[in-house]
Structure 1
């Protein structure tokens, strides 16, 4: 018998535990994977069924709309109904679309009828036909039950009919026939996969169309697993209904404007076989991966793990402890023993601009030199770490029991040292350094609290453009409390989708139409229990990464709205979206933007991106490059609030710009303020010379509009024409404006 030493016993014990864990995990995974696969496959089939039912319902509804619209035209017309060449021409043109087998109308007074493609036999009276009687009885557009045609081929038809009313009196019927064979083939062509098929049934349970022709005109109760109770459950709802039987999965969808239901049947036997096959495949992959991990874990030893842990705990460029390791070191060495000290966040404010200007080798060397200068200012017991690529974090224990003013002096000396010129290769770099500090234990009893306090005071100082060195004090909490409440509410609002969009139309002098709109965000906060102005919550979002999430939420909502307008054939030349500086500087901004718009089927040429002068001046070269790529992708670019910033004329000439939006500050007193008039005229003349479109914001009076038109502005946006409004109100405004000769081509090309 083989004897095992203690080392082997330990090895096999660990191996046995791993195998037991593998077995237990496999059993749990099998149960979970099988359940999820069953659910996902079932949902996949139901999604296919839903799409098929929507397509069939849309096809019926499109044909119903054709008949209903023609019936309405005849009802509203003052022309005679008998032998009317206009009506006959319209029916002939409609018939050429080959939607209908027959197309005709009949009159109530004397039985007069006219068919596009059928010679009416003597004695034919449409009033005796089932399609005529069904439409007359319903008093609205309907689809009739299948009936036997009057022609010689004994063809069965489904009639789509609509009544004609004149002076509220029933006058006749317009009807189009669909061959039942064609509808049957359409239903039978629906492919679900996994042995699934579709059939058409009436609400009373009579089967109209079924892949098994022997079941035509029989009761649905003859199908497996169906009885009177199940029949009532799947053929009585106005929405999708799902029914599970022992052998089949049934799902019914109502067909609009009829008492028909499209019923889908999926055999569970085939569904279960696919589930078993996929489940076993997934488990095989799972077992292989788990076994590989177990083997890899066994083969590792301390010679591999120790260097790896050291690597994971250090910054690759400077060799300093990373953020996580720094926190642990400070907590273990100073905070837990109760050694008071000062925590410092040292931030390179212009780091993004530096990285956009210099190659990575120069930036890496810069980080090393900054690290060296900080270490030269720290004593031997201080700990320095890397918080992020643009920030260092340090903790200096107060072993010498220095007064607060002495520690502030140390911070000032450190800041002076860090703000000296950095010489790297052939470059001379100047950095903008900002320091935020908090004291232990006065400002917090844990590392996270100290970091939060240092960051909050530094962020507030930056926002208020105060000193580069800031030390936390309790008074700062009250200053930050409102911003923190709003920031917290923004996060919850994003999760709860509390934000919504309004749209302000833009008037074009050249064609006297509202050709474009600007999308503006609004917020009714449940948490704050009030409506929060954009002037209040956008600066808070701008001060953090929330503006990026908020920006993508805006793009998502606007993309969805444009998609809905496209489906309704409502066309604007451009829909403007405001883009924040932080969002534009994201490496994947264009990819994210295009992905969202593509999801909703929106073309880039329908979207105008508005940036501010601040956006341009923070990172000019990088911003221009990004804007050029966006323009090449089809987007148009506009500068918002022009005239309030400090744009360089050189950069303005380099931007792939299409539009300048003059800030409302110059428009408010345009009638009386000569300087504003001069500024607006200068901006307009410059823009015209550079071939830019000029839009003036904030016009509220007729006199302002007239002056702006005279000065050469192309477009106006302001309360004189319209306030920002929800999309539903926008369409009403557009139509009303058209009626007053101020609207152009938006719906179906041209409204006449």
Structure 2
């Protein structure tokens, strides 16, 4: 692939084309996703602003209308013949509040009174639009806009109330406001996306246009209002979107007008256009950078990198990848048979300590000459590890097993001979293994088969092993189990069960031991914990499994706490691999804090062989957990061969008597002696003691007499699910 990148321009332009297609696809998806999001956001914002402004406008008009209504009520309650009863100062005071530009009332007798205003000659209030509209309506109204009689240009609206005395229309009280005031106070509000407000009548005509330099009555049409009203009512929404515009509407309460807000879609979508531009610029930059990088890589970096990738620097032989690639090339060219030979030094560390790299390379070259003397020079060779050399002998037919064994006998005799280094003869010990194509595998896995055969050779006895069907079957089963285990961790196939720990003889629950169960969906069977835990440890899956166990347990503890269910201790087993992994310890402590678990309720169970392992003094994981409040328990105590000194050196709280010592109690004198000794040890060191595997009352009574008062086993309860444990604990709960 590196060679193609360095030499093949078609690959370069293919990559750039693929990059362009990816960016185009991304740009299109980004455009439509962000377009809809921006439009939805703009509509929501526009509707909210329109409703707020419309509500403000309604309140503004209500305040002014109430002044006019008060005046009309005052006139109606008094005899209109005394039309001077309301003093002029009342009108002057209203004028000073600036609620209304003009406050007046007009009688049928053409009597007119208002705040100070020079009445133009020939002015007849009874003929003004606001008077005639009110007389016709006989109810409070907000009139349609009309033109001032002073300059024949300024637009006004009036809030009018009919004056009625004993059912007879006597005149009109009116409060007039200039449209400029409405614009400045209401419609001049700033809209998002550079939008603007309009006042629109029921016919869809603009009566006042936002941001207009002349605030006058307009005959221009915004939309078909009848169609608009029908659309809004049918779809139950308060906005309309056309090809270029977005409108939001608010029906005003005091007349038949609508407050209309308007924004251009092009302004709303400006962020999308900017993103598309940035995407294009990024593509150009990446395409240009890729081209320059390819040229530099091809001219200055490719050859030394290829050499480094294909060669083992210690031996100067082709490395493992080059070795496998050579076998694959032969297979692709039609050579489907051959033998893979793997040679391993048994004392490479000693050689590296006593000889230079060049001298060791000379040993490698001598081994190659001896192998070629037996198998011929047509060999693929490679350095597989610092202490392993592999050879592949291509053949025209299926390898004969007896012939392979004969060649190995010759090779063993050849390599038994001493090697000459610096005029000194030295003896080097080796191990050999082989696997053949197609008997044992394909070109893809033949080296792995040879390595598996090599790993089965014991330290003593024969130093040669060929891959066999039994090895293949064992490998296949183990591979399936590993794959199933990996899938099980990801798919949450495990479950937790809980076995209570009891005090004796009152048989109260003192805690629970948390155990895992696995019913494999892939293998369609239940796998014992001892088997899958060992597989997890051997294949670096124990970290993920143990974190799953801890997380699942902590979630269950949280559920129990929310339901007022609690146990004194929750004991769970951790592997030696977990304790030697600082990242796991850190993650485990993080889970405790995340789920707000009381660390004093947790107990970590470790096996005796883990307890005697060497832990660093500065960052001892057991001490870290103990300092947090977590208890440490030694499981299966007494089954190891260790010194008792670790009980004093390590931060241990509890020891558990192994079930193998309990099984034959109280009939076995040997087990009686061991059990009593362990009980005495726990007392001597001040440790909590639990007996495992108690299955009958005779065992429980004997242990209790010897001083052990905490037990678990089938005599008391089997491992059970969380739901079963809840029901069991409820029955056992003291009344």
TM category, shorter:
0.5 to 0.7
Cα offset, 1:508, TM superposition: 4.2
Aligned counterpart, 1:344: 342
Q: 1:601-612, aligned counterparts within 5 Å?
A: 601-602=596-597, 604-612=599-607
Aligned counterpart, 1:359: none
Asked if the contact 2:603–2:630 (Cα under 8 Å) also holds between the matched residues in 1, the reply is yes
Indicate how the Cα distance of structure 1 residues 334 and 482 shifts in structure 2: closer, same or farther if over 3 A, else same.
Answer: closer
Distance in 2, matches of 1:365 and 1:386, equals 18
Q: 1:120-519, aligned counterparts within 5 Å?
A: 288-289=285-286, 291-315=288-312, 321-332=318-329, 337=335, 340-344=338-342, 377-378=367-368, 379=371, 385=382, 392=388, 394-395=390-391, 397=393, 403-406=403-406, 437-444=434-441, 446-457=442-453, 470-508=465-503, 513-519=508-514
Aligned counterpart, 2:715: 720
Q: Deviations over 1:458-483 (max 9, x none)?
A: 56678x99987643111333445544
- Secondary structure of the residue aligned to 1:300 is helix
Aligned counterpart, 2:553: 558
Unpaired runs of 5+ residues, structure 2, are: 1-6, 40-191, 194-228, 238-245, 249-264, 419-427
Q: Name the count of aligned residue pairs.
A: 499
Distance in 2, matches of 1:593 and 1:692, equals 25
Aligned counterpart, 2:44: none
Cα offset, 1:487, TM superposition: 3.4
Indicate how the Cα distance of structure 1 residues 270 and 669 shifts in structure 2: closer, same or farther if over 3 A, else same.
Answer: farther
Cα offset, 1:534, TM superposition: 2.5
Asked if the contact 2:341–2:432 (Cα under 8 Å) also holds between the matched residues in 1, the reply is no
Indicate how the Cα distance of structure 1 residues 530 and 650 shifts in structure 2: closer, same or farther if over 3 A, else same.
Answer: same
Superposition RMSD in Å: 5.6
Cα offset, 1:394, TM superposition: 1.8
Distance in 1, matches of 2:719 and 2:460, equals 33
Cα offset, 1:726, TM superposition: 0.7
Asked if the contact 1:508–1:716 (Cα under 8 Å) also holds between the matched residues in 2, the reply is yes
Asked if the contact 2:578–2:585 (Cα under 8 Å) also holds between the matched residues in 1, the reply is no
Cα offset, 1:307, TM superposition: 0.9
Q: Deviations over 1:277-321 (max 9, x none)?
A: 778777766665554344333333333111122223345666654
Aligned counterpart, 1:681: 676
Distance in 2, matches of 1:394 and 1:474, equals 21
Distance in 1, matches of 2:231 and 2:684, equals 78
Indicate how the Cα distance of structure 1 residues 686 and 486 shifts in structure 2: closer, same or farther if over 3 A, else same.
Answer: same
- Secondary structure of the residue aligned to 2:605 is strand
Indicate how the Cα distance of structure 1 residues 23 and 540 shifts in structure 2: closer, same or farther if over 3 A, else same.
Answer: closer
Cα offset, 1:671, TM superposition: 1.4
Asked if the contact 1:628–1:656 (Cα under 8 Å) also holds between the matched residues in 2, the reply is yes
Distance in 2, matches of 1:581 and 1:278, equals 52
Indicate how the Cα distance of structure 1 residues 19 and 396 shifts in structure 2: closer, same or farther if over 3 A, else same.
Answer: closer
Distance in 2, matches of 1:22 and 1:584, equals 46
Indicate how the Cα distance of structure 1 residues 324 and 228 shifts in structure 2: closer, same or farther if over 3 A, else same.
Answer: farther
Cα offset, 1:453, TM superposition: 2.5
Indicate how the Cα distance of structure 1 residues 584 and 465 shifts in structure 2: closer, same or farther if over 3 A, else same.
Answer: farther
Which of structures 1 and 2 has the bigger CA Rg? 2
Q: Deviations over 1:549-585 (max 9, x none)?
A: 4333323322322232343343334322222334444
TM-score normalised by structure 1 residue count: 0.53
Indicate how the Cα distance of structure 1 residues 442 and 500 shifts in structure 2: closer, same or farther if over 3 A, else same.
Answer: same
Cα offset, 1:738, TM superposition: 1.2
Asked if the contact 1:509–1:715 (Cα under 8 Å) also holds between the matched residues in 2, the reply is yes
Q: Deviations over 1:179-208 (max 9, x none)?
A: xxxxxxxxxxxxxxx99xxxxxxxxxxxxx
Asked if the contact 1:524–1:530 (Cα under 8 Å) also holds between the matched residues in 2, the reply is yes
Cα offset, 1:654, TM superposition: 3.5
Of the three residues 691, 706, 709, the one matched with 1:696 is 691
Q: 1:6-155, aligned counterparts within 5 Å?
A: 23-33=20-30
Cα offset, 1:701, TM superposition: 1.8
Asked if the contact 1:563–1:600 (Cα under 8 Å) also holds between the matched residues in 2, the reply is yes
Indicate how the Cα distance of structure 1 residues 511 and 299 shifts in structure 2: closer, same or farther if over 3 A, else same.
Answer: farther
TM-score normalised by structure 2 residue count: 0.54
Cα offset, 1:518, TM superposition: 1.6
Indicate how the Cα distance of structure 1 residues 295 and 697 shifts in structure 2: closer, same or farther if over 3 A, else same.
Answer: same
Asked if the contact 1:341–1:397 (Cα under 8 Å) also holds between the matched residues in 2, the reply is yes
Indicate how the Cα distance of structure 1 residues 309 and 273 shifts in structure 2: closer, same or farther if over 3 A, else same.
Answer: same
Aligned counterpart, 2:143: none
Q: Does 1:522 align with 2:525?
A: no
Indicate how the Cα distance of structure 1 residues 398 and 591 shifts in structure 2: closer, same or farther if over 3 A, else same.
Answer: same
Indicate how the Cα distance of structure 1 residues 490 and 12 shifts in structure 2: closer, same or farther if over 3 A, else same.
Answer: closer
Cα offset, 1:682, TM superposition: 1.9
Cα offset, 1:515, TM superposition: 3.3
Asked if the contact 2:316–2:361 (Cα under 8 Å) also holds between the matched residues in 1, the reply is no
Q: Does 1:729 align with 2:727?
A: no
Indicate how the Cα distance of structure 1 residues 247 and 737 shifts in structure 2: closer, same or farther if over 3 A, else same.
Answer: farther
Indicate how the Cα distance of structure 1 residues 442 and 503 shifts in structure 2: closer, same or farther if over 3 A, else same.
Answer: same
